[in-house]
């Protein structure tokens, strides 16, 4: 706050569409009205290989009404291009994290609101009708809407290591890990953005604060390898069984020969 300077601009971010700046409260990407689209994009790219983005947001509307559709956080090569994916461009190159509040497909095994991520290659399409189910990288259930305390998200990226998203939605000052994915590769130069849209269903989608910082690289954890299995002791099967029979038969034969010799010796003594 207050988000804008005397010339009604921001040094680091551009905003557009139906976005409204309330200098004492928030940046409202969409109002509680139908068919709105709004965005907020960084003017400069993120160039650090390891970084963290933390932002406070608020999603709410009149109690008791159907609401939608949600908002998105972007880390992409393109910026400030209006489109059909939560108000931004489809077939994007980079990462999209979607804070989805409405179930379009009605066939999911999870509830809504739902947070999901997609890694775009510039050609793959996000399917709105399926809420991105076919291209989902990772996700989690998170009832972040209409909370009485600040809701926050924190995305941490370690190049050539992992990507992690933590969300504060259950209780104030309590972070829940939403997902952690290894070996995620983002483009070398990416812009940070937020966008939202409404259709027949509406909601207020507000960004309250955004902060970024460079992270110290973390060593990649190697997965422990399984120790080689010890060979199982077996009974030897049929051949071992046969050997045991032969040994037993040999022992009986020795005993029998010894017994006959003993009997013969006794008979000679009696004679």
Q: What's the CATH class of domain 13-214? A: mainly beta
Are residues 38 and 17 in contact, defined by beta-carbon separation less than 8 angstroms? yes
- b/e map of 146-167 (b: 16 or more CB within 10 Å)? bbeeebbbbbbbbbebbbbbbb
The predicted model scores a pTM of 0.81
Sign of CA dihedral 158, 161, 165, 166: negative
**78 closest CA partner among 98, 57, 59, 92:** 92
Tell me how far apart the alpha carbons of residues 206 and 99 are, in angstroms, rounded to a whole number: 12
- Kindly give the confidence (pLDDT) of every residue in the chain, 271 residues in length, as a single tens digit, with 9 standing for 90 and above: 899 988 889 999 999 999 999 999 999 999 999 999 999 999 999 999 999 999 999 999 987 778 999 999 999 999 999 999 999 999 999 999 999 999 998 878 889 999 999 999 999 999 999 999 999 999 999 999 999 999 999 999 999 999 999 999 999 999 999 999 999 999 999 999 999 999 999 999 999 999 999 999 999 887 666 666 665 555 455 555 555 655 555 554 545 445 455 455 544 444 3
């Amino acid at each position: 706050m207050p988000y804008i300077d005397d010339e009604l601009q921001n040094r680091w971010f551009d905003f557009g569409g139906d976005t409204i700046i309330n200098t004492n409260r928030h940046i409202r990407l969409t109002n509680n009205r139908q068919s709105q689209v709004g965005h907020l994009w960084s003017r400069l790219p993120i160039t650090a290989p390891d970084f963290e983005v933390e932002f406070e947001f608020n999603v709410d509307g009149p109690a008791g009404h159907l609401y939608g559709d949600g908002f998105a956080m972007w880390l992409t090569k393109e910026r400030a291009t209006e489109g059909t994916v939560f108000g931004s461009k489809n077939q994007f190159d980079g990462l999209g994290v979607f804070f989805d509040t409405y179930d379009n497909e009605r066939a999911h095994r999870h509830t809504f609101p739902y947070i999901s991520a997609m890694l775009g290659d510039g050609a793959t399409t996000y399917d709105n009708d399926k809420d991105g189910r076919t291209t989902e990288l990772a996700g989690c259930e998170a009832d972040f809407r209409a909370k009485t305390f600040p809701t926050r998200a924190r995305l941490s990226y370690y190049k050539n290591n992992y990507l992690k998203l933590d969300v504060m939605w259950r209780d104030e000052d309590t972070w829940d890990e939403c997902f952690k994915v290894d070996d995620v590769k983002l483009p070398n130069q990416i812009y940070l953005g937020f966008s939202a849209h409404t259709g027949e269903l509406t909601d207020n989608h507000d960004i309250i604060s955004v902060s970024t910082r460079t992270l110290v690289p973390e060593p990649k954890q190697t997965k422990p390898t399984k120790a080689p299995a010890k060979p199982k002791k077996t009974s030897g099967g049929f051949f071992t069984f046969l050997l045991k029979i032969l040994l037993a038969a040999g022992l009986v034969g020795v005993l029998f020969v010894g017994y006959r010799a003993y009997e013969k010796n006794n008979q000679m003594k009696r004679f």
